[in-house]
Amino acid sequence: MTTLTEPSGPAMTATAVRAPAGLPRLLPQVPGVPEDLRAHLARHGRPPYRGGRGLLIGSVEAAGLTGRGGAAFPTHRKLAIVAAARGRAVIVANAAESEPASRKDALLLRVAPHLVLDGIQLTAEALGATEAHLYLHPGTGHAIMRALAERHAAGADRLAVTVTEAPPRFLAGQESALVNRLGGGPAVPTFVPPRVTERGLGGAPTLVQNVETLAHIALIARYGPRWFRELGTAGEPGTMLTTVHQPDGQTQVIEAEIGTPLRTLVVGAAGPGAQAILVGGFHGTWLPVGAAATLTLDNQALKRHGATVGAGVIAALPADRCGLAEAARVTRYLAAESAGQCGPCLNGLPAIAGALAELAAPGPRRATRQNAERWAGLVTGRGACGHPDGTVRFVRSALTVFAPEITRHERGQCSATNRRPFLPLPDGMPTTEDDWT
C-alpha cells in the first residue's frame, strides 16, 4: 500500500468561464492529452467555492446527478446525510476500479486529474469535511501526484488529500471494505448498519463517492444544473464514462450522453460482429444482440431487461467465442474474490462456479443447469455486501442468453472456433490473506 499526503495551502478564488457545449465534458478536448493545471484553469476557470457548508447540495439535487460507481444512487442524498452529521466529516474519492473490465477511472485520473481534485475540494467544503482521501487502483497514481504537486505550488487547495493504493481485489472498492482498508485493516466489507455515512473512517460520517461523480460535481458547481441537464435523459441527466470492449478486441473509454443507443457505442451490436452484449460488467447482465441493438444507455431502458448501466462497462462478445467458457472463467474469478465471511459466498459461489465450469466443458450432465439455477436462487439477497447478488445476476443472464450453447454442449458440440479468452481478468488468482492489504 502507498500512502502519500499532500500538504494544504491557501485557496484560489473563482473566475467565470463560458459553459462548454456538447461532448466531451469530463475528458480533454484533445483526446488522450492530459490537462495540466494551466490547461484545466484555461478551460474551466478556478473552483467556485461557495463560502459555506451545504450550499452546493441544492445544485447537485437540481442537476439530478447519480453516482457513477455502479449503483446510480442519488448523489445529493448522501451529501445531505453527511453534511447534516455533527462534528467532523471525511470525504473519500473512490478510484479503486476493482472491476477488471473497467478502465474509465484510471483514464479520468490520468487525463483530467484536476477535475477530480476540484470535485474533492468543493464537496469537502459542502460537507464541512476536515479530512480527504483518494483511494486508487494500484499503479494509477502518477498523474494525480503530479497534479497535487502543481496545486500545492499554486496554493490551490484548502484541504490536504491523502492518496492510498487499494489492494488489487474485486471487493476493494466496496465502500465498507474501503473504509476498513483506510483505517488500517483488510479491505473486506462489514455488515451494515451502521452505514459509512453515519459511522465510517475513524467513526466519522464518511462520504464515499466515485471519482467520476466528483468530477461531475466540479462541473455542476461551475456551470449549474440546467447546463448539466442539457445532455442525458430527463430521469438520468448528464454524461457517463463507459469502457467498451469491442468484438475485435479493442477497448475504448467513451464519454457518452446517457440515453445513447448501445448500437452507436458497440461496433456490431446490431450486426454479425458480436453474439451477445455484457452490460454493467462482471456484476452485470448478458443481453442477446437483438435486444441490445434496440436499447439505450440508461437504467430506465435497461431495467426492463433486468440490466443496469453499472459503472459503464459494455463488452461485445465476438461471434467466434464460447459464451459459456467466458461466463465460467469470470464466475470462477468472482467466487475466488469473495471475502469468505458469509455463507452464500463461502458455499454458494464455488458451487455455482463449479456448475458453470461443467457447462463450459463438453457433455455436461442435464441436471447441472438446474443445479446452477437453484443454487443461484439460494444465494440471492443474502450476504453482507452486493457481491453474491451481482454474481448471480451475471450467472443467471449467462444461463439464459447462452441456453442454446448449453444444449450444444450437452450433445458434445461447441460453436466456438476461437479458444482465446475475451473478457479481461487479472493475471493469476489471489491465494493468500495478504492480498487484501
Ligand X SMILES: Cc1cc2nc3c(=O)[nH]c(=O)nc-3n(C[C@H](O)[C@H](O)[C@H](O)COP(=O)(O)O)c2cc1C
Closer to ligand X by CB, 179 or 269: give it. Answer: 179
* Side-chain half-sphere CA neighbours of 178 within 13 A: 30
**Which of ligand X, ligand SF4, none sits in contact with 151, Cβ below 5 to 8 A by type?**
none
**Site of interaction with ligand SF4 (CB under 6 A):** 171, 189, 338-342, 345, 383-385, 387-388
Distance CA 66, CA 75 (A): 5
Closer to ligand X by CB, 12 or 65: give it. Answer: 65
Point out which span in 115-123, 268-276, 357-365, 382-390 binds ligand X (CB under 6 A): 382-390
Q: Does 209 bind ligand X (CB under 6 A)?
A: yes
Distance CA 281, CA 141 (A): 23
**Which of ligand X, ligand SF4, none sits in contact with 213, Cβ below 5 to 8 A by type?**
ligand X
171 with 99: CB under 8 angstroms? no
Least distance from ligand X to the Cβ atom of residue 36, Å: 25
Q: Does 208 bind ligand X (CB under 6 A)?
A: yes
Longest Cα pair distance anywhere in the chain, in angstroms?
Answer: 71
For residue 373, give the C-alpha cell.
439455477
* Side-chain half-sphere CA neighbours of 370 within 13 A: 3
Site string for ligand X, 264-303 (x = CB under 6 A): ----------------------------------------
Closer to ligand X by CB, 136 or 277: give it. Answer: 136
Q: Does 116 bind ligand X (CB under 6 A)?
A: no
Least distance from ligand X to the Cβ atom of residue 78, Å: 6
Point out which span in 1-9, 62-70, 250-258, 400-408 binds ligand X (CB under 6 A): 62-70
Point out which span in 90-98, 272-280, 357-365, 417-425 binds ligand X (CB under 6 A): 90-98
Distance CA 266, CA 244 (A): 7
Q: Does 201 bind ligand X (CB under 6 A)?
A: no
> Using CB under 6 A, which of 213, 242, 296, 397 touches ligand X?
213
Q: Does 94 bind ligand X (CB under 6 A)?
A: yes
Least distance from ligand X to the Cβ atom of residue 225, Å: 17
Point out which span in 65-73, 107-115, 343-351, 375-383 binds ligand X (CB under 6 A): 65-73
**Which of ligand X, ligand SF4, none sits in contact with 28, Cβ below 5 to 8 A by type?**
none
125 with 60: CB under 8 angstroms? no
Least distance from ligand X to the Cβ atom of residue 381, Å: 14
Q: Does 174 bind ligand X (CB under 6 A)?
A: yes
Which residue minimizes CB distance to ligand SF4? Answer: 383
Q: Does 68 bind ligand X (CB under 6 A)?
A: yes
Closer to ligand X by CB, 172 or 406: give it. Answer: 172
> Edge to edge, what strands does the sheet with 129-136 contain?
3-6, 161-165, 129-136, 89-95, 206-210
Closer to ligand SF4 by CB, 171 or 316: give it. Answer: 171
Point out which span in 25-33, 95-103, 366-374, 415-423 binds ligand X (CB under 6 A): 95-103
Least distance from ligand SF4 to the Cβ atom of residue 344, Å: 6
Closer to ligand X by CB, 173 or 323: give it. Answer: 173
Distance CA 224, CA 217 (A): 10
Closer to ligand X by CB, 73 or 191: give it. Answer: 73
Instruction: Give the amino acid at 181.
Output: R
Least distance from ligand X to the Cβ atom of residue 94, Å: 4
Closest CA to 178 of 227, 126, 242, 135: 135
Distance CA 69, CA 289 (A): 25
> Using CB under 6 A, which of 70, 168, 268, 284 touches ligand X?
70
Which chain residues interact with ligand X by CB under 6 A? 67-71, 73, 94, 96-98, 171, 173-175, 208-210, 213, 385-387
